[in-house]
């Protein structure tokens, strides 16, 4: 690809499953979440987004794609919308919960698997993804006109989506889980690093990525530092173990399947130019 004829496509990892893709003009966020509700609040406690931290961390956002309605993907979205004016896209449950949480209906877009959307400068294709079963957080339908969710378990998942995003011709597949149908090729594959090895072999063959970026690998429950400079370090021992021991092994495995595929282990909130890395 000729670099001179293309704009920069920037990638930022926001911690947990959060991502920003920025094309120099518009910002597309996926699952922004910095509150990190601690594990002992996951059952009966009332959960609240950390507004002060969200205000500090999110200064921009035009569009938000939500992969599914679990708390670590959706809790912060209404506050990010309030802060940035972004519009949100997600499943029926996601839309019903956002409405219950007071988000203006003009900012909520209900989407389904199989749709191809024009989201500002970005083209987005929506695919069904398989989410592993989480005990006590099983899927179900959130009723229409539901009350605002108060506990983590009320952030109930119905569908789970993967997104193929085209930004200035660059294809970025944000894969939230295993899917049966054949996957489209993409230059960048953003993926959970904890599946079985055979799954990655197949993904690499089908997607033919030039770059793989592991996502949603850190422990999403410890409170992070309020200081962004301190946030650049893993927030706890489990995340540190993943960062310094497991992810290099993941990277090695990918190289074994295809030595030409690059693996980026991003620092949170650091901006990477995807074209610069790939070409």
Q: Which residues bind Zn ion (CB under 5 A)?
A: 70
Question: What Cα–Cα distance (Å) separates residue 131 from each residue in 64, 84, 125?
Answer: 20, 29, 18
Q: Beta partners for 213? A: 190
Give the nearest residue (CB) to Zn ion: 70
Structure tokens at 135: 């005990």
Beta bridge partners, 117, equal: 124
Q: Measured from the CB of residue 118, what is the shortest distance to Zn ion in angstroms?
A: 27
Block residue for tokens 């930004």: 167
How does strand 122-128 pair with strand 161-167? antiparallel
Q: Work out how close the CB of 169 gets to Zn ion at its nearest, in angstroms, rounded to a whole number.
A: 31
CB of 256 to Zn ion, least distance (A): 29
Select 43 or 244, whichever has its Cβ closest to Zn ion: 43
CA distance 71 to 137: 10
* For Zn ion, the closer CB: 70 or 99: 70
Nearer to Zn ion, 82 or 158 (CB): 158
* Closest CA relative to residue 49, chosen from 27, 22, 75: 75
Least Cβ distance, residue 37 to Zn ion (angstroms): 13
Cβ distance to Zn ion smaller for residue 89 or 122: 89
Of 70 and 96, nearer to Zn ion (C-beta) is 70
**Nearest-angstrom CA–CA distance, 84 and 33:** 14
Strand order in 271-273's β-sheet? 108-110, 87-90, 63-65, 27-30, 19-22, 10-13, 271-273
Could you tell me the smallest distance in angstroms from the CB atom of residue 228 to Zn ion? 25
Q: Does residue 164 contact residue 124 with C-beta atoms inside 8 Å?
A: yes
Of 152 and 173, nearer to Zn ion (C-beta) is: 152
Minimum Å distance from CB 70 to Zn ion? Answer: 4
Q: Residue with structure tokens 């410890």? A: 222
Q: How far is the CB of 134 from Zn ion (least distance, A)?
A: 7
- Which is nearer to Zn ion, 70 or 109 (by Cβ)? 70
Instruction: For 27-57, give one letter per residue: b (16+ CB within 10 A) or e.
Output: bbbbbbbbbbbeeeebeeeebebbeebbeeb
Residues 95, 97, 103: CA angle, nearest 5 degrees: 75
* Four-residue CA torsion sign, 243, 246, 252, 253: negative
Nearer to Zn ion (CB atom), residue 22 or residue 216 = 216
Please state the closest distance from residue 24 (CB atom) to Zn ion, in A: 31
């Amino acid at each position: 690809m000729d670099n001179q004829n293309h704009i920069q496509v920037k990638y930022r990892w926001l911690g947990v499953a959060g991502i920003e893709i920025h094309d120099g003009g518009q910002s597309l966020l996926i699952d922004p979440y910095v509150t990190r509700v601690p594990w002992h609040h996951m059952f009966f406690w009332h959960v609240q987004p950390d507004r002060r931290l969200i205000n500090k961390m999110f200064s921009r956002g035009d569009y938000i794609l939500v992969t599914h309605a679990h708390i670590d993907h959706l809790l912060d979205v209404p506050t990010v919308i309030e802060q940035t004016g972004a519009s949100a896209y997600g499943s029926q449950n996601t839309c019903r919960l956002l409405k219950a949480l007071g988000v203006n209906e003009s900012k909520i877009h209900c989407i389904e698997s199989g749709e191809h959307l024009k989201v500002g400068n970005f083209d987005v294709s929506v695919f069904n993804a398989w989410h592993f079963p989480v005990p006590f957080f099983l899927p179900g339908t959130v009723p229409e006109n539901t009350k605002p969710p108060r506990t983590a378990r009320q952030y109930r998942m119905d569908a789970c989506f993967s997104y193929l995003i085209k930004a200035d011709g660059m294809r970025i597949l944000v894969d939230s889980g295993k899917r049966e149908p054949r996957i489209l090729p993409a230059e960048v594959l953003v993926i959970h690093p904890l599946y079985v090895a055979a799954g990655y072999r197949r993904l690499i063959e089908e997607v033919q990525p030039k770059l793989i970026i592991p996502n949603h690998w850190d422990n999403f429950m410890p409170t992070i530092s309020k200081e962004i400079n301190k946030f650049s370090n893993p927030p706890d021992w489990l995340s540190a173990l993943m960062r310094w021991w497991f992810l290099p092994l993941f990277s090695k495995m990918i190289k074994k399947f295809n030595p030409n595929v690059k693996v980026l282990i991003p620092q949170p909130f650091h901006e990477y130019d995807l074209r610069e890395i790939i070409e």
